[in-house]
Structure 1
Amino acid sequence: MQMQRRTEKTVTENYAELLIELKHCTEEEQKLKIDEMNKLMEEMSRDEFCSVITDKLLDKIDKMIEKKKMTLDDSLELLKHIGYWKVLKRILIADFNKSSLNKRFKKMIIDEYAEKEEKSEKLLTDLCECYLTLGDDLSSELLSICVPCLLKVALNIEENEKAQKEVEIALLALSNISKFYEIKKELYLNEIREILKYHQEHRNLTQIAYHSAWQFLICRLFYDRSLEDIILNELHLVREATRELEELSKYIDWKREEEEGRKEETEAKEMIIVRKWLFAIQDCFSFCKMWNEEFIGLFSCITWVFRTAKENYKEISKKCIYLFVVVLRKEAVKAEDLLNCGIVDAVLEEIHQPILNDDIACYCLKFFITIARRLNGQDEGKMEEEERKIMKRKMKQIV
């Protein structure tokens, strides 16, 4: 009867109902309901997630912990899953940073870390994952505890499903640390290097875990530009990003047809990771000055994604063309590179479409304005005379 009632309600209604039921369950029943809630979350669209997971809901969970209506282990299991999907979908939970739950995590992490005799590594790991995934306003003190703790988990090279999931959650939590937080190299560099290199040899990480490790490292460029050589030449970001995008693209239904009035679908994980890779590449290009032939392969791949996504995944197309503008501003990028990547041809094709999405049209305009500035020597990425001639010939195709 209960399952029948569930099928008659929306995902969001079922989730809210299960949370209320948790208060009146035995510990065993709670575990089953939390499993059910976690499965429901995987079915949620981004809009459904935002409507359900609010600061008020998290306050309710905090009160249940305080009044012992839910065990700490169960509550952390539920909150870790919420944090996982929050980071994956790039969602902000308003006011969480000021919430009682956030204050609870901070105190518990500091207390557990200080514990010498009966410290629980699992409890500390769970607390750190919740703290990093649910919040965005992080303290330097807690980062110095959380980063080494989660990297220790991420160094686990066991390939069973449970271990891989634990590694994935730890790395995803680390990837949520904003570039605006400075972290000392000794807290992370050797470990993240080892994680990335081991995966490149043995392919032991999930796709989400691998991207997350890269995202964490790329964000550290904001304060430490010396990482550029490690990222591009030692760990080969460009080669690896190209390979990952090509692999992910095989599993996406690029030709799906959108039906008017159809409910928004839950986004495929592969598409979520493609989007996250595009953001990571953008971050890298915001900080790096280097350019080599490997980049031509990467941007040829991104050009393909742009062309393939423009019919049914306009958000992805917009991200691609924004990346084209970013790369065009790099002084080291030559006109020949842009032509070899197919970027100029792809943007020209788009601008000639009879119906053009307003946002994409805006980015196309920015692209051509940036070229014009380079042609006139007004940008830092000004062109040599021969390059200028090549690009002018190409630009004549617009009119």
Structure 2
Amino acid sequence: MDEKLLADLCECYLLLTCWHPYGFISTICILCLLKVASNKEESDEVKHEVEMALLALSNSGYYEVPKELHLNEIKEIILHHQEHQNLTRLAYQRAWEFMIIRLYWDNSLKEVIVNELHFGRESTKELEELMKCVDWNKNFKEMSKEEANEVLLITGWMKTIKLYFDLCGLRNEEFVGLIGSIVQVLRASRCNNGEIYVECIHSISKAAINRAVKVDDLLKGGAINAILEEIHRSTLDDEIAIECLRFFIDISRRLKDKEKDEKEDAKRKKTKRKVFEWMEEEGYEDCVENTVRFATLDFVKV
């Protein structure tokens, strides 16, 4: 009977319990917390309640939840924020995290995420705004509370983006901008924030595997250049070296695989030429060729 108490209990349950019975999650927690998160009042108290509800929802895990129980509400929450900027930055990131995790069970959500809610555009904008709020010459311990919060938000966005590339296989014209923003964060965090840096590398690696992301997107977004820079670093650890190697193996495979459609195959060959011409100009061709051959693959020119 006490809706506020029920919402508080649902938040505590989702945030503090590792295992959740499916029925309890779908029929009580998600419905209750989506109702709280849908409150559009502008008071600080309501914003805090909405933030906590979305924080708990994003922690609900990979349980299959039917679209009819969440889709309209979470869409409206995201769309309303895009128009009115009513959510806190943390709440907005967690709303997206909850939405994208649902892709694990329902791939049809990709149309909503890409074409209606524009995840590529929105995550790019959030990363660019957050980047401006952080002094990247400081390490995490030296930062103010506000800066530290922004860094944690960037980490959250990078994890969500990695999940997006892993689960969403739909072509998106916003990929180039998003990849460019990831590259900016990668370079900024390289020397003083290992967690964000690693998430950036993993996100770019996931993008290279995703067939909806064209190799040309990776080239234009600066990902190929950034990964080449990583390979040249003398302090590169084993985990990152493996991810960089995997990136070029995936790029190599994709540039060699013929497309069934003649126009698409012509585009592939054109991109392949562009990649090699750019590598020759930058002096990277031998480095990449040797790296990929080391992995028993041959990076053959057109």
Q: Is this contact kept in 2: 1:242–1:297, CA < 8 A?
A: yes
Q: Per the alignment, do residues 120 and 157 of structure 1 end up closer, same or farther by CA in structure 2, a change over 3 Å counting?
A: same
Distance 2:20 2:56 in 1: 12
Q: Is this contact kept in 2: 1:325–1:366, CA < 8 A?
A: yes
Distance 2:7 2:235 in 1: 51
Distance 2:277 2:254 in 1: 14
Distance 1:185 1:336 in 2: 34
Question: Structure 2: which 5+ runs fail to align?
Answer: 288-302
Aligned to 1:175: 58
Q: Does 1:248 align with 2:130?
A: yes
Aligned to 2:148: 268
Q: Is this contact kept in 2: 1:286–1:326, CA < 8 A?
A: yes
Distance 2:139 2:80 in 1: 40
Aligned to 1:163: 46
Distance 1:362 1:252 in 2: 29
- The alpha carbon displacement at 1:359 in A equals 2.7
Q: Is this contact kept in 1: 2:166–2:210, CA < 8 A?
A: no
Aligned to 1:133: 15
Aligned to 1:320: 200
Distance 1:394 1:360 in 2: 23
Amino acid at match of 2:226: A
- The alpha carbon displacement at 1:394 in A equals 4.2
Aligned to 1:153: 36
Aligned to 1:64: none
- The alpha carbon displacement at 1:319 in A equals 1.1
- The alpha carbon displacement at 1:388 in A equals 2.4
Q: Does 1:386 align with 2:270?
A: yes
Q: Is this contact kept in 2: 1:218–1:284, CA < 8 A?
A: yes
- The alpha carbon displacement at 1:184 in A equals 1.5
Give the length in aligned residue pairs.
277
Secondary structure of the corresponding residue to residue 128 of structure 2: helix
Secondary structure of the corresponding residue to residue 226 of structure 1: helix
Amino acid at match of 2:169: K
Matches within 5 A, 1:45-64: none
Distance 1:294 1:269 in 2: 27
Aligned to 1:347: 227
Give deviations 1:266-304, integer Å, cap 9, x for gaps.
881111111111111111222212122211111101111
Alignment RMSD (CA, Å): 2.6
Q: Does 1:192 align with 2:79?
A: no
Of 121-130 and 354-363, deviating more is 354-363
Q: Does 1:295 align with 2:179?
A: no
Secondary structure of the corresponding residue to residue 170 of structure 2: coil
Aligned to 1:374: 254
Distance 2:142 2:137 in 1: 18
Distance 1:165 1:385 in 2: 52
Q: Is this contact kept in 2: 1:282–1:323, CA < 8 A?
A: yes
Sequence identity percentage:
46
Matches within 5 A, 1:4-83: none
Counterpart pick for 1:221 among 84, 98, 103: 103
Q: Per the alignment, do residues 291 and 393 of structure 1 end up closer, same or farther by CA in structure 2, a change over 3 Å counting?
A: same
Of 245-254 and 205-214, deviating more is 245-254
Q: Per the alignment, do residues 137 and 222 of structure 1 end up closer, same or farther by CA in structure 2, a change over 3 Å counting?
A: same
Distance 1:223 1:283 in 2: 13
